[in-house]
Amino acid sequence: MEVGPKSVREKAVSDQTSSPSHVTEAVAERRGGERSSPARSGDTVSGTSAPDPEVPAKAMRRAFTAEYKLRIVAAADACRKPGDIGSLLRREGLYSSHLVMWRRQRDSGALRSMKSRRRGRQPREHDPMAQEVQRLTRENEQLKKRLTQAERIIAVQKKVSEVISILRAEHESEKSE
């Protein structure tokens, strides 16, 4: 008999066709929502253990400072022998695309302009003139509100004065009659 994958397949086919009860047992086992292979499902009977419950730490993207980029680009430019740049990149754990991008940034002047800049909202500089402008703006708004209120009060007083003068005129006309 021949030993190999073909002979094993032929034997499996002949075993399945000769015993139909074997096929129905396998189908019955899978109907319960189980996997077809207990070793894959983490079955403890087969000797495999449960997966490790510890959650691995989330990977963080590396951030390179402008000084570091300039230093690496200068070191790469100083490499003269074949393979020196590759060894530099391997030693630093970098890719050649980093070097290409950093050279472009250096040539455009972007690396010099971002010397030790931190990400995020930049702190405000304490400008005394800006503080004074803000104070005066707030005061101006308050005075505008007071002026509007005073104008409304004066308008109401004028209407009340007119109503009083009309009533007085009517009252005097009734008296004189």
- pLDDT tens per residue across span 16-29: 444 454 444 444 45
97 SS3 class: helix
Residue 35 has pLDDT above 80, yes or no: no
- Residues near 4 by beta carbon (within 8 Å), at least 6 away in sequence: none
Hey, where are the domains in the chain? 66-113, 128-177
Query: What is the predicted pLDDT for the residue at 2?
Result: 47
Query: What is the predicted pLDDT for the residue at 27?
Result: 47
pTM for this predicted structure: 0.36
Mean pLDDT of the chain: 78
The single residue listed with the structure tokens 């983490």 is 42
Query: What is the predicted pLDDT for the residue at 162?
Result: 94
User: 40-85, pLDDT tens digit by residue?
Assistant: 544 455 556 777 778 777 888 888 888 899 999 999 999 999 999 9
Residue 105: closest CA among 65, 68, 69:
69
Query: Which tops the pLDDT comparison, 173 or 37?
Result: 173
Q: What is the DSSP letter of 62?
A: -
Q: How many of the other CB atoms lie within 10 Å of CB of 102?
A: 21
- The answer to whether 29 and 77 are in contact (CB under 8 A) is no
User: 81-140, pLDDT tens digit by residue?
Assistant: 999 999 999 999 999 999 999 999 988 887 777 665 667 887 777 788 888 999 999 999
